[in-house]
Amino acid sequence: MAFQSSVQAYQTNAVTTATPAELTLMLYNGAIKFLKQAKMSIKGKKYDKAHESLIRVQDILNELIVTLDRSYPISEQFLAMYDYMLRRTIEANVKKDTSILDEVEQFFTGFRDTWKQAMALAKSQGQGEQI
């Protein structure tokens, strides 16, 4: 029990001290984790667990949509992609279709990997917080 509360305290501290760029990375990683859990649950016919994981993915996508800085022209493209991924996640949840989840996971993995590269590039150029 003490270990679990220590882990929760660490996670809370990591979130509250993270930069916006780091928070975005955490959201991408969280979505990938929950997608993997959902796929495993569907394969194991644990549909209630799959549903819970997919609701978490939907929550993450909604957070990404709400916090999207729309002052950049590319934001509309991100908005369209996040909206598409959200619709596909809902469809996969209704149908319990892991192939749809594979597609959504590929998008998240691509975003995450590109985001990590952008963070590294910004850091190397001394612009850490500007991405």
Per-residue pLDDT tens digits for 24-53: 999 999 999 999 999 999 999 999 999 999
Determine contact, residues 84/106, Cβ cutoff 8 Å.
Answer: no
CA distances from 20 to 40, 64, 93, 112 (A): 30, 11, 29, 14
Q: What is the rounded distance in angstroms from the CA atom of residue 3 to the CA atom of residue 25?
A: 25
Q: 59-111, pLDDT tens digit by residue? A: 999 999 999 999 999 999 999 999 999 999 999 999 999 999 999 999 999 99
> Which domains, from first to last, does the chain contain?
20-110 (1.20.120.340)
Full-model pTM: 0.84
The predicted pLDDT at position 126 comes to 76
